[in-house]
Amino acid sequence: MSEINKEGLEARLERVRLRTSQALDDRVKATLAGAGTDAGAEAPSKKGRTAMFRMIRTVGGKLSLAAASVAIAVGVACYLMGSRSIAFADVLEKVNSVHTVRFTQSIPDWKSLPAQDGQWIQRDDGKTRCTFPGGVILIFDLSQGKALALDTLKKTAVFYTQAGWEKPSVPKNFLEQMKNLRDSSHEDLGKKEIDGKSTKGFRARTQGSDWRIWTIWVDEKTELPVRVEVETVRGQLIVLSNFVFNELVDESLFSMTPPTGYKVTENVATERTERYQPESEADLVEGLRAFSIMVPGRFPSEITGAAIMKELPTINRRGVNVESDRASVAIVRGLAFVVRLRLKPDNDWHYAAEGVKPGDASKALCWYRPDGSKTYRVVYGDFSVRDCNSSDLPTAPSK
Amino acid sequence: MARSDPEGPVRTSPTDIEALYMEHKDRLLTLATALTGHVSAGEDIVHDVFAKLVQDARRLRNDDHVAGFLSVCVRNCALDWCRMRAKQNKLSTAYAACRQDDPGKDPANRAVEEEEAQALLKAVHKLPGELREIVSLKFWGGLSFQEIAELRQTTKSTAHARYSEAIEKLEATVAGGSQHV
C-alpha cells in the first residue's frame, strides 16, 4: 500500500466497503419472506433515540453472544415502540428460548366424562413425558422414534420402536409446533385476566399441521403463554394450561429404561409408514370388531365422535395396553371412514347396529353405496361384507 | 423505501425491510467484519439483525434513525461475538472470503482495491478495542461523533480525540506495512 497522509487514509477508509455475497442476500431474503411484520406503535422521537442507544448498550453489554439475539430484539422493541406493549413477535421470541415446558392438556368436549387431562413435559430435543389419569405414563423420544408405556398400577412396561424412523418434517409436539408459529398471520384479541394474571391474546393459523388455529393468552409480565387453545383440522378443541417453562427436569423422567420392578410385557416394533393410508371399508370393519372386543357384547349406538367418546370410560376400564392401543387406532380409522361417507349424500350411509349381537350373521350393521357404484356394501354382525342391490337392502331403523 | 412524508409514519413491511437491507447491507457487513475480523461472523450478524428486525418491525419514519439503529444493533452483536470468541482465526484467513467483485471493474484494479481493503480492515482490527469501535462506527456505522459519544457514554470531544488517536495509529500501521511490501 502506498504511503498516505491522514486525509488520504480517511478517504481510503471511507471507500472500504465489503459486498455481501449472493448466499447472504438469499439467506436474508428467505428469512424476511418467512416472517411478517406487525404494524403498531410509532417510532420514537429523535430525542428518544439517545435513550434507546443507551438502553441497547446497557442491555447488549450485559448479555453474552448466546443472548445477543435477545439484546437485538430488546433494542428493536425499545426503538420501535413508543410505550412498551407486548407483541406477538415478543412471544415467539420468548417461546424460542424455551427448552422445557410442562403443561396440562385437556379436551373440553370430554369434560362430561371421567378426567382425561394429561400432564405433559416436553423438551426441545424431542423428549416427551405424559402422565394420564389412571396411572399410565407414556415417554416418547421423537428424535429416535421410540416410546415407552408404563402402567404404574400393574407395574408393566411396553416398548414401542419404529424401524426406519425419521424425524417428522412437520412438528409433532406442542413445543415444536409453537416454535414454528409465524408472526405473519396473527390477529390481536385484546386483554383478559386468566388465573389472576393480566394476559394478552393472539390468534395464529398454521398450515401443514393438524393443529390449525391457535388462540394464545400470554402473561403480560413474562410474555409466555398462560393458556393455549388449539383447534385441530378435525374441529377438535384442545386446551393447554398450567404452564411451567424452563424448569429443571430430572433426566430420569425421560429414561427409556423401565423402573425397577416393572415387567416388560411386550416389545412392539413397527415399520415406518411411508405414506398415510386413507381409511377404507376394511378399517370400518376392523373398527367395529375392535369396539365389540373392547366393549364386549355390543356395538356403538352410532358411529360418531360423540358416541365413541361416550364409550371411553368403558374402554379405559380395560386399561391402556397394546390391545387397547391397536383397538383405538382401528376404531378411530373406522370412524374417519364413516365421517367421509356421511359427508357425501350419494354414499347413502346407514347404521343399524344398535342391539345387534357381535357374530350375528343375519343382522346388518351398516350399509353404504361406494363412490360411483350402483350396488351397496352391507356389513353384517359377523363382520362379513356383501354386495347388495338397493331393492334388497335391510330396513333402516327409524330415527 | 417508499416514503410519502419524511416526518410521517411509514409502514414497514417485509418488502420495506428487504429494501432497507439492500440499502445498508454492504456498509453493515463492513462494519461487522471490521469489528469481528471475520467475514463469516459479519454475515451472521447482519443476517441476525434483519431476522430480528422483521419479527418486530413497526413504523419507521426517518431513514437516518434507521441507519444509526442498524449500526448500533450490528455493533452490539459484533461486540458480543468478540467477547465470546475465545480463539480467533488468523485475519488473513478470515478476510480471504472478502468479496469485492464488481463485474464492471477492471480485474487488475479490483484486485488492488481488494488487497487494500483487506489491509485496511486488518489494520483497523488490530487497533485497541475502543479505537477500533470508534473508527468502525465512524466510517461504516455512519454515526456522528455526538452519537458515538452517547453510545459510549463519553463526551464528543473525547470521542473525537480517540478517533484522532486511532487514525494516527492506523497511519503508522499502514506506513509500516508499506515499508515491508
**Which 3 state secondary structure label does DSSP give A155?**
coil
Do residues A206 and A69 lie in contact, with contact meaning Cβ atoms separated by under 8 Å?
no
- What's the Cα-to-Cα distance from A232 to each of A44, A216, A238, B38, B49, rounded to whole Å? 41, 14, 8, 47, 35
Q: Which of A18, A49, A69 sits opposite B33 (nearest CB)?
A: A18
pLDDT of B22 > 60? The answer is yes
For testing contact with chain A, the best of B3, B30, B55 (most A CBs within 10 A): B55
Task: Report the pLDDT value the prediction gives residue A234, as an integer from 0 to 100.
Answer: 61
Cell numbers linked to B2: 417508499
**A20-24 mean pLDDT:** 77
Q: Which of B55, B69, B178 sits opposite A93 (nearest CB)?
A: B55
pLDDT of B82 > 90? The answer is no
Q: Residue A146: which H helix or E strand, with range?
A: strand A146-151
Q: B32 CB near a chain A CB, below 8 Å?
A: no
Do residues A99 and A114 lie in contact, with contact meaning Cβ atoms separated by under 8 Å?
no
Q: Which of A21, A60, A87 sits opposite B99 (nearest CB)?
A: A21
Cell numbers linked to A40: 403498531
Q: Residue A101: which H helix or E strand, with range?
A: strand A100-106
The HSE-up count of residue A18 (CA atoms within 13 Å, CB side) is 31
Q: Where are the alpha helices (DSSP H) in A119-246?
A: 174-179
Cell numbers linked to A139: 415417554
Closest CA to B32 of B67, B78, B76, B66: B78
Q: Which of A24, A42, A67 sits opposite B46 (nearest CB)?
A: A24
pLDDT of A294 > 90? The answer is no
Q: Which residues in chain A are closer than 8 Å to B18, comparing Cβ atoms?
A: 28-29, 32
With cut-offs at 50, 70 and 90, classify the pLDDT of residue A5.
confident
Q: Which residues in chain B are closer than 8 Å to A12, comparing Cβ atoms?
A: 116, 120
Task: Report the pLDDT value the prediction gives residue B3, as an integer from 0 to 100.
Answer: 36
Task: Report the pLDDT value the prediction gives residue A165, as an integer from 0 to 100.
Answer: 54
B18·A32 Cβ contact <8 A: yes
pLDDT of A389 > 60? The answer is yes
Q: Which of B43, B116, B168 sits opposite A1 (nearest CB)?
A: B116
Closest CA to A106 of A134, A132, A141: A132
ipTM, 2 dp: 0.74
B153·A65 Cβ contact <8 A: no
A61·B120 Cβ contact <8 A: no
How far apart (Å, rounded) are the C-alpha atoms in residues A316 and A304? 18
**A298-327 mean pLDDT:** 70
Q: Which residues in chain B are closer than 8 Å to A52, comparing Cβ atoms?
A: 69
Q: Which residues in chain B are closer than 8 Å to A62, comparing Cβ atoms?
A: none
Q: B153 CB near a chain A CB, below 8 Å?
A: yes
Task: Report the pLDDT value the prediction gives residue A251, as an integer from 0 to 100.
Answer: 82
Q: How far is A175 from chain B (nearest CA, A)?
A: 19
Q: B105 CB near a chain A CB, below 8 Å?
A: no
Q: How far is B98 from chain A (nearest CA, A)?
A: 7
A64·B80 Cβ contact <8 A: yes
Residue A362 burial by Cβ neighbours in a 10 Å radius (0-12, 13-18, 19+): exposed
- % of chain A surpassing 70 pLDDT: 68
pLDDT of B43 > 80? The answer is yes
pLDDT of A64 > 60? The answer is no
Do residues A11 and B91 lie in contact, with contact meaning Cβ atoms separated by under 8 Å?
no
Do residues A137 and A256 lie in contact, with contact meaning Cβ atoms separated by under 8 Å?
no
Q: How far is A251 from chain B (nearest CA, A)?
A: 29
The answer regarding whether domain A100-251 maps to CATH 2.50.20.10 reads: yes
Residue in chain A lying closest to B154 (CA): A54
Task: Report the pLDDT value the prediction gives residue A67, as an integer from 0 to 100.
Answer: 30
Q: Which of A5, A16, A32 sits opposite B54 (nearest CB)?
A: A32
How far apart (Å, rounded) are the C-alpha atoms in residues A173 and A209? 11
Global pTM? 0.40
pLDDT of B11 > 70? The answer is no
Q: Which residues pair with A131 in a beta bridge?
A: A119, A137
Q: What angle do CA A115, A120, A123 make, to 5 degrees?
A: 170
For testing contact with chain B, the best of A2, A6, A14, A18 (most B CBs within 10 A): A18
B181·A31 Cβ contact <8 A: no
Q: Which residues in chain B are closer than 8 Å to A67, comparing Cβ atoms?
A: 80
Residue in chain B lying closest to A23 (CA): B43
Task: Report the pLDDT value the prediction gives residue B165, as an integer from 0 to 100.
Answer: 92
Q: What is the DSSP letter of A169?
A: S
Task: Report the pLDDT value the prediction gives residue A217, as an integer from 0 to 100.
Answer: 93
Q: Which residues in chain A are closer than 8 Å to B8, comparing Cβ atoms?
A: none
Q: Which of B56, B62, B77 sits opposite A68 (nearest CB)?
A: B77
pLDDT of A105 > 80? The answer is yes
Residue in chain B lying closest to A28 (CA): B47
**Which 3 state secondary structure label does DSSP give B166?**
helix
Which of A44-53, A157-166, A374-383, B91-100 is least confident? A44-53
Q: Which residues in chain A are closer than 8 Å to B72, comparing Cβ atoms?
A: 53, 56-57, 75
- The total number of residues written for chain A in this structure: 399
Task: Report the pLDDT value the prediction gives residue A66, as an integer from 0 to 100.
Answer: 26
B171·A31 Cβ contact <8 A: no
**B122-145 mean pLDDT:** 88
Task: Report the pLDDT value the prediction gives residue A116, as an integer from 0 to 100.
Answer: 59
A18·B21 Cβ contact <8 A: no
- Pairing mode, if any, of strands A118-123 and A263-271? unpaired
B60·A19 Cβ contact <8 A: no
Q: Which one is predicted more confidently, B94 or A326?
A: A326
User: What's the whole-number average pLDDT of chain A?
Assistant: 73
Contacts 24+ apart (CB under 8 A), A107-115: A107/A236, A107/A237, A107/A238, A107/A239, A108/A237, A108/A239, A109/A236, A109/A237, A109/A306, A109/A309, A110/A309, A110/A312, A113/A309, A113/A310, A113/A312, A113/A313, A114/A312, A114/A313, A114/A316
Q: Which one is predicted more confidently, A90 or A275?
A: A90
Buried b (16+ CB within 10 A) or exposed e, A328-338: bebbbbbbbbb
pLDDT of B77 > 90? The answer is no
* Domain range annotation of chain B: 14-180
* Domain range annotation of chain A: 31-85, 100-251, 281-392
Task: Report the pLDDT value the prediction gives residue A380, as an integer from 0 to 100.
Answer: 94
Q: Which of A6, A29, A80 sits opposite B56 (nearest CB)?
A: A80
Tens of pLDDT along B49-66? 887 777 666 545 455 567
pLDDT of A53 > 80? The answer is no
With cut-offs at 50, 70 and 90, classify the pLDDT of residue A384.
very high
A20·B139 Cβ contact <8 A: no
Cell numbers linked to A303: 358411529
Q: B71 CB near a chain A CB, below 8 Å?
A: no
B25·A24 Cβ contact <8 A: yes
